[in-house]
Amino acid sequence: MVRINTERDIEVLRQAAQILDAENQRLIAKNVELQRQLLLAKGVSAEELQLKLIELTEQLQRRTQALFGDSSERRSRARDGDQAAPPPQHGHGPRRQPQLPCVEKVHTLDTADQTCPQCGGTLTPWAGQFEESEEVDVVERRFVITKHKR
Protein backbone atom coordinates (compact mmCIF):
# COMPACT_ATOMS: atom_id res chain seq x y z
CA MET A 1 0.00 0.00 0.00
CA VAL A 2 1.41 3.40 -0.98
CA ARG A 3 1.14 6.07 1.64
CA ILE A 4 0.48 9.56 0.27
CA ASN A 5 1.71 12.61 2.14
CA THR A 6 -1.26 14.86 1.38
CA GLU A 7 0.17 17.83 3.26
CA ARG A 8 3.30 17.76 1.09
CA ASP A 9 1.24 17.13 -2.06
CA ILE A 10 -0.94 20.15 -1.32
CA GLU A 11 2.14 22.31 -0.85
CA VAL A 12 3.61 21.06 -4.16
CA LEU A 13 0.33 21.83 -5.93
CA ARG A 14 0.22 25.28 -4.32
CA GLN A 15 3.76 26.03 -5.54
CA ALA A 16 2.90 24.79 -9.04
CA ALA A 17 -0.18 27.04 -9.10
CA GLN A 18 1.93 30.03 -8.05
CA ILE A 19 4.47 29.33 -10.79
CA LEU A 20 1.71 28.98 -13.39
CA ASP A 21 0.05 32.18 -12.17
CA ALA A 22 3.34 34.10 -12.47
CA GLU A 23 3.86 32.75 -15.99
CA ASN A 24 0.28 33.69 -16.88
CA GLN A 25 0.82 37.24 -15.63
CA ARG A 26 4.02 37.50 -17.69
CA LEU A 27 2.24 36.30 -20.83
CA ILE A 28 -0.64 38.72 -20.25
CA ALA A 29 1.78 41.63 -19.97
CA LYS A 30 3.56 40.49 -23.14
CA ASN A 31 0.22 40.17 -24.97
CA VAL A 32 -0.79 43.69 -23.94
CA GLU A 33 2.57 45.06 -25.14
CA LEU A 34 2.30 43.26 -28.48
CA GLN A 35 -1.27 44.53 -28.93
CA ARG A 36 0.01 48.07 -28.24
CA GLN A 37 2.81 47.69 -30.78
CA LEU A 38 0.41 46.30 -33.38
CA LEU A 39 -2.01 49.16 -32.93
CA LEU A 40 0.85 51.68 -33.16
CA ALA A 41 2.06 50.01 -36.35
CA LYS A 42 -1.45 50.34 -37.80
CA GLY A 43 -1.31 54.07 -37.09
CA VAL A 44 -3.98 54.12 -34.37
CA SER A 45 -4.09 57.38 -32.40
CA ALA A 46 -2.91 57.54 -28.79
CA GLU A 47 -6.48 57.95 -27.51
CA GLU A 48 -7.72 54.91 -29.42
CA LEU A 49 -4.68 52.98 -28.23
CA GLN A 50 -5.43 53.87 -24.59
CA LEU A 51 -9.10 52.84 -24.99
CA LYS A 52 -8.08 49.54 -26.60
CA LEU A 53 -5.63 48.80 -23.74
CA ILE A 54 -8.34 49.55 -21.16
CA GLU A 55 -10.72 47.26 -23.05
CA LEU A 56 -8.12 44.45 -23.09
CA THR A 57 -7.42 44.88 -19.37
CA GLU A 58 -11.13 44.72 -18.52
CA GLN A 59 -11.53 41.64 -20.72
CA LEU A 60 -8.68 39.91 -18.89
CA GLN A 61 -10.21 40.81 -15.52
CA ARG A 62 -13.61 39.41 -16.57
CA ARG A 63 -12.03 36.16 -17.75
CA THR A 64 -9.99 35.85 -14.56
CA GLN A 65 -13.14 36.42 -12.48
CA ALA A 66 -15.04 33.84 -14.54
CA LEU A 67 -12.20 31.34 -14.16
CA PHE A 68 -11.46 31.78 -10.46
CA GLY A 69 -14.73 33.27 -9.18
CA ASP A 70 -15.31 33.99 -5.50
CA SER A 71 -14.23 30.51 -4.37
CA SER A 72 -10.60 30.97 -5.32
CA GLU A 73 -7.75 31.19 -2.84
CA ARG A 74 -6.93 34.54 -4.36
CA ARG A 75 -7.79 37.32 -1.99
CA SER A 76 -10.09 39.96 -3.41
CA ARG A 77 -9.16 43.54 -2.78
CA ALA A 78 -11.13 45.17 0.00
CA ARG A 79 -13.90 47.31 -1.43
CA ASP A 80 -15.17 50.45 0.24
CA GLY A 81 -17.49 49.46 3.10
CA ASP A 82 -16.74 45.72 2.75
CA GLN A 83 -14.39 45.55 5.71
CA ALA A 84 -16.74 43.76 8.13
CA ALA A 85 -15.17 41.69 10.89
CA PRO A 86 -15.13 37.95 10.14
CA PRO A 87 -17.47 35.85 12.29
CA PRO A 88 -15.83 34.12 15.26
CA GLN A 89 -14.91 30.47 14.80
CA HIS A 90 -16.59 27.87 16.94
CA GLY A 91 -15.72 24.27 17.63
CA HIS A 92 -11.93 24.45 17.60
CA GLY A 93 -9.56 23.91 20.52
CA PRO A 94 -9.95 22.37 23.96
CA ARG A 95 -13.09 22.97 25.95
CA ARG A 96 -13.65 22.83 29.67
CA GLN A 97 -15.43 19.69 30.86
CA PRO A 98 -16.62 20.49 34.41
CA GLN A 99 -19.20 17.67 34.48
CA LEU A 100 -16.59 14.94 34.02
CA PRO A 101 -15.07 13.25 37.08
CA CYS A 102 -11.42 14.07 37.69
CA VAL A 103 -8.69 11.54 38.48
CA GLU A 104 -5.27 12.84 39.57
CA LYS A 105 -2.06 10.95 38.77
CA VAL A 106 1.15 12.09 40.44
CA HIS A 107 4.30 11.29 38.47
CA THR A 108 7.57 11.07 40.37
CA LEU A 109 11.14 10.99 39.06
CA ASP A 110 13.20 7.83 39.08
CA THR A 111 16.03 7.80 41.62
CA ALA A 112 18.54 8.23 38.78
CA ASP A 113 16.79 11.42 37.63
CA GLN A 114 16.70 12.93 41.14
CA THR A 115 20.31 14.14 40.84
CA CYS A 116 21.14 17.72 39.81
CA PRO A 117 23.14 17.72 36.55
CA GLN A 118 25.01 20.91 37.59
CA CYS A 119 26.18 20.25 41.14
CA GLY A 120 25.39 16.54 41.62
CA GLY A 121 23.17 17.22 44.65
CA THR A 122 19.90 15.41 45.37
CA LEU A 123 16.72 17.03 44.05
CA THR A 124 13.80 17.30 46.46
CA PRO A 125 10.19 18.03 45.50
CA TRP A 126 8.81 21.53 46.14
CA ALA A 127 5.43 21.52 47.78
CA GLY A 128 2.78 22.83 45.38
CA GLN A 129 5.23 23.23 42.45
CA PHE A 130 4.41 21.00 39.49
CA GLU A 131 3.59 20.98 35.81
CA GLU A 132 -0.05 20.12 35.13
CA SER A 133 -1.73 18.86 31.97
CA GLU A 134 -5.13 17.33 31.26
CA GLU A 135 -6.40 14.68 28.91
CA VAL A 136 -9.84 13.21 28.41
CA ASP A 137 -9.86 9.40 28.61
CA VAL A 138 -12.66 6.92 27.95
CA VAL A 139 -12.90 4.52 30.87
CA GLU A 140 -15.58 1.82 30.54
CA ARG A 141 -17.61 4.17 28.35
CA ARG A 142 -17.21 7.01 30.84
CA PHE A 143 -15.30 10.18 30.20
CA VAL A 144 -12.93 11.36 32.92
CA ILE A 145 -10.31 14.09 33.10
CA THR A 146 -6.86 12.85 34.09
CA LYS A 147 -4.62 15.57 35.52
CA HIS A 148 -0.94 14.76 35.24
CA LYS A 149 1.31 16.48 37.78
CA ARG A 150 5.05 16.30 37.18
pLDDT tens-place string over residues 86-135 = 777 777 777 788 888 888 888 888 888 888 888 888 888 888 888 888 88
Higher pLDDT, 50 or 19: 19
- The DSSP 8-state label assigned to residue 122 in this structure reads B
Please tell me which of 42-56, 74-88, 107-121, 132-146 the model is most confident about, judged by mean pLDDT: 107-121
**What whole-number distance in Å separates Cα of residue 25 and Cα of residue 22?**
5
Amino acid identity, position 54: I
Region 24-46 average pLDDT: 82
Sheet (strand 142-149) strand order: 102-106, 142-149, 132-139
pTM, entire model: 0.33
Whole-number Å distance between alpha carbons of 147 and 103:
6
Give CA–CA dist 102/113, Å, rounded: 28
